[in-house]
Amino acid sequence: MTKDKVGFVGLGIMGLPMAANLAKAGFELTVYNRTPGRAEQLEGPTIRIAQSPAEVAEASDIIITIVSDSPDVEAVVLGPNGVIEGIRPGSILVDMSTISPAVERRIDQELQGKSCSLVDAPVSGGDIGAIKGTLAIMAGGERKSFERVLPLFEAMGKTITYCGPVGNGQLTKLCNQVLVSVNLLAVSEAVTFARKNGLDPATMIQAVAGGAAGSWQLSNLGPKIVDRDFAPGFMIDLMQKDLRLVLEAGDQAGVALAAAGLVHQFFNSAQAAGDGRAGTQALAKVIEKLSAV
């Protein structure tokens, strides 16, 4: 069986290393990035640079897109010279951006009209996970499409989960973001409480991180808060985009998200203070300000 030919649209901080891992795994790649110059950073005999998403689609059996937000996906897929203009019957579009589940379902409808299908497969794990090939990948779509795409996922990620029909990858990613952001709020309050009460916050973290209070956010971002290291792993501006998707999906389904709504408002305060491009752990500065730390 010959390997599927892969197209890749969006060579940003996540996309570039993900495409590199596909090339390393032996996939033949046709790539496109809006900003020129990025594609040239990929090297290899099996990599071809295209002039548009449509041209990527023409050359590929499976097309991956990973761009910033819902309108960007709509532009590269449904817009002029978009994927939909070049895609061949039977091909699969795999959107690995984090965007609206409703938009994914709409795009899937359009693709069905071309005898194609969509797998929505947002990722978690950041640029380090993208480089190391250890991303968590949460996928929605028809199971047979998922299974055809699985070898690509295995070249880019570690925890790969089939979550059900189109849109369920995005919905699972949004659950992820509820957990990440509310856990970070817990860390911010605990560290602020510790400081204001004269505890050494590093000792506090060490005392509690191994038990029922433990979380990835506490162990990884807690020490950064203590050390006043607000450099981005994941930027507040991007988290806010994701929380907007969370609250929008919550509105549509009728879910009352008190804590996720609260942390979104606190991140608004961080953005107002100029910390939009800081790491999410700068949330702690908002919580500290409330308590005049």
Q: Which of residues 31-60 bind a second copy (CB under 8 A)?
A: none
Q: Hey, which residues between 126 and 155 contact a second copy (CB under 8 A)?
A: 126, 136, 138
- Applying CB under 8 A, does 198 fall inside the site for a second copy? yes
Give first-to-last CA distance, the chain, whole Å.
63
For a second copy, the binding residue among 31, 92, 246, 270 (CB under 8 A) is: 246
Task: Pick between residue 41 and residue 220 the one whose CB is nearest to a second copy.
Answer: 220
Spatial distance between the Cα atoms of 288 and 292, rounded to a whole number of angstroms: 6
Of 47 and 283, the one with the shorter C-beta distance to a second copy is 283
Give CA torsion, residues 12, 158, 188, 279, to 10 deg: -10
Answer for which of 176, 226, 236, 278 binds a second copy (CB under 8 A) is: 176
Cα(202)–Cα(146) distance, integer angstroms: 44
152-171 binders of a second copy (CB under 8 A) = 159, 161-164, 168, 171
Query: Which residues 6+ apart lie within 8 Å of 232 measured at CB?
Result: 277, 278, 279, 280
Amino acid letter, 62: I
Shortest Cβ 33–a second copy spacing (Å) = 26
Question: Among 131, 150, 238, 257, which residue interacts with a second copy (rule: CB under 8 A)?
Answer: 257
Q: Is 189 exposed, middle or buried (0-12, 13-18, 19+ CB in 10 A)?
A: middle
Question: Is residue 13 close enough to count as binding a second copy by CB under 8 A?
Answer: no
Residues 72-131 that bind a second copy (CB under 8 A): 101, 124-126
Q: Exactly one of 132, 173, 241, 285 is catalytic; which is it?
A: 173
SS3 256: coil
Q: How far apart are CA 274 and CA 230, in angstroms?
A: 12
Does 173 qualify as catalytic in the annotation?
yes
Of the listed pieces 19-27, 60-68, 208-216, 267-275, which binds a second copy according to CB under 8 A? Answer: 208-216
Please state the closest distance from residue 247 (CB atom) to a second copy, in A: 10
What CA–CA distances, in Å, run from 24 to 63, 65, 156?
A: 17, 18, 10
> Judged by CB under 8 A, which stretch of 2-10, 49-57, 253-261, 267-275 contacts a second copy?
253-261
d(CA 216, CA 214) in angstroms, rounded, equals: 7
- Residue 87: half-sphere exposure toward Cβ, Cα within 13 Å: 28
We find the least distance from the C-beta atom of residue 73 to a second copy, in angstroms, to be 19
Binding of a second copy by 180 (CB under 8 A): yes
Please identify, using beta-carbon distances, which residue of 65 and 177 lies nearer to a second copy.
Answer: 177
Among 172, 226, 242, 270, binds a second copy (CB under 8 A): 172
Q: Among all residues, which ones are annotated catalytic?
A: 173
